[in-house]
Amino acid sequence: MTENPAENPLFQSPDQNGKVPNQGQRALELESRLPLTGWQQEVSKGLEYGLEAADSIRDRTIPTFSRGELPHYAGINTFLKAPYVEDVRKVGEYDVAIVGVPHDSGTTYRPGTRFGPQGIRRISALYTPYNFELGIDLREQITLCDVGDIFTIPANNEKSFDQISKGVAHIFSSGAFPIILGGDHSIGFPTVRGICRHLGDKKVGIIHFDRHVDTQETDLDERMHTCPWFHATNMKNAPAKNLVQLGIGGWQVPRQGVKVCRERAINILTVTDITEMGLDAAAEFAIERATDGTDCVWISFDIDCIDAGFVPGTGWPEPGGLLPREALHLLGKILQRAPICGLEVVEVSPPYDISDITSLMATRVICDTMAHLVLSGQLPRKQKPAYIHPESQPELVAWT
């Protein structure tokens, strides 16, 4: 974490006259401090690989073939046009690795999240690597790659879970910060299991944004997207007392899951709790519970924690959720203060989406996460975090 608050652009310090600048003014100043090195390297590479432009083009940074950020409507759709790492053995050379988990066989109503990674990558082309008010330019401050997708097995959740755990364990143990593009929420169990394989005797807390508890043992006789936390919190590395659920409520919460939450004393805040106690207090609550006795925190962000009006492209939309700006503020506050070991964004279903708005929300959550991790000094990593054990543990939870 950053010790000196003045280093953190979110800290508003007074000027010589004792006046605290507003965020807009501060942002103008922050931009001037950012380097342009990454951008210049991208331009040089573009001209080398993509050839110099036709003679009539006055801007000589433009190549003939699009080879970088610009134009936003062109190019090959990796996340944020990050380099595609075909050889996954090289993933540890990057600060952050994006991986898609196109799995929707755990869905109990509207399917389509197998297209989530594609949808998120496609609309991420709309974004620049720079954020105005945070004063962050990801291209200048971290190295990002996209390792493509896990090979999931659509007719079999359990085989897919094994593939997902193996893939996530590989990325996590490499030292690259894993960001998972779901996929339905059934992947929450195998992703955390993948992390736990490399925790040794260390522990992970889980902060779970959702309208639904997802804590029942089975649904429709299988481990579906309503079940990840029952199984994840059976692992000794992921205690139930460190599971925090934010935004739960409405008419889609199964009573069997509620019973499990009660039995395991899981920490739940409804949308009303969050808005009445205030976003900062809710973030404090989440951090306190998730970090109590643990070594790192996994963020599981179900896009349906946001009000259904903003995220139509999801499996079980539920009105009355968080506003986007509330969810982003809450997330940002948590990321500023907790040691984060990875992020998954799940339940984006492009076939039900309108104008890519749900995929865009997922993109926003991911980009904000990377920015806050830079601001809090968690990225880039100077060395592998101590909670990553070099040796993989055997299968942690048998399915009986």
Give me the residues that bind Mn ion (CB under 5 A), please. Answer: 210, 212, 302, 304
Closest approach of Cβ 45 to Mn ion, in Å? Answer: 41
- Tokens 């309108």 — which residue? 354
Closest approach of Cβ 301 to Mn ion, in Å? Answer: 10
* CB neighbour class for 109 (10 Å; exposed up to 12, middle 13-18, buried from 19): exposed
Query: Based on CB atoms, which residue is closest to Mn ion, 157 or 215?
Result: 215
Closest approach of Cβ 38 to Mn ion, in Å? Answer: 36
Closest approach of Cβ 261 to Mn ion, in Å? Answer: 14
Query: Based on CB atoms, which residue is closest to Mn ion, 298 or 387?
Result: 298
Closest approach of Cβ 316 to Mn ion, in Å? Answer: 6
Q: Where do the H-state alpha helices sit in 264-392?
A: 271-277, 279-291, 324-337, 357-375
Give the C-alpha separation, 36 to 40, whole Å: 6
DSSP letter for each residue of 352-368: G-STTHHHHHHHHHHHH
Query: Based on CB atoms, which residue is closest to Mn ion, 174 or 245?
Result: 245
Instruction: Please choose, from the candidates 148, 120, 149, the residue with its C-alpha nearest in 3D space to the C-alpha of residue 314.
Output: 120
Q: Where do the H-state alpha helices sit in 82-227?
A: 116-124, 138-141, 157-174, 188-196
Query: Based on CB atoms, which residue is closest to Mn ion, 210 or 353?
Result: 210
Give the C-alpha separation, 128 to 146, whole Å: 16
Q: Which residue is nearest to Mn ion (CB)?
A: 212
Closest approach of Cβ 82 to Mn ion, in Å? Answer: 27
Is the Cβ–Cβ distance between 351 and 115 less than 8 Å? Answer: yes
Query: Based on CB atoms, which residue is closest to Mn ion, 47 or 299?
Result: 299
Query: Based on CB atoms, which residue is closest to Mn ion, 172 or 229?
Result: 229
Beta partners for residue 340, in sequence order: 297
Task: Mention every residue, 6+ apart, whose C-beta is less than 8 A from residue 378.
Answer: 1, 335, 339, 340
Is the Cβ–Cβ distance between 158 and 399 less than 8 Å? Answer: yes
- In degrees and rounded to multiples of 5, residue 390 shows phi and psi of -65, -25
Closest approach of Cβ 347 to Mn ion, in Å? Answer: 6
Query: Based on CB atoms, which residue is closest to Mn ion, 95 or 304?
Result: 304
Q: Are β-strands 130-131 and 177-182 bridged in parallel, bridged antiparallel, or unpaired? A: unpaired
Closest approach of Cβ 260 to Mn ion, in Å? Answer: 16
Closest approach of Cβ 274 to Mn ion, in Å? Answer: 16
Query: Based on CB atoms, which residue is closest to Mn ion, 302 or 368?
Result: 302
Query: Based on CB atoms, which residue is closest to Mn ion, 193 or 212?
Result: 212
Q: Give the other-Cβ count within 10 Å of 97's Cβ.
A: 28
Burial 1-33 (b: 16+ CB within 10 A, else e): eeeeeeebbbeeeeeeeeeeeeeeebbeebeee
Burial 34-67 (b: 16+ CB within 10 A, else e): beeebbeebbeebbeeeeebeeeeeeeebbeebb
Closest approach of Cβ 315 to Mn ion, in Å? Answer: 7
Instruction: Please choose, from the candidates 144, 200, 191, 168, the residue with its C-alpha nearest in 3D space to the C-alpha of residue 386.
Output: 200
Query: Based on CB atoms, which residue is closest to Mn ion, 149 or 302?
Result: 302
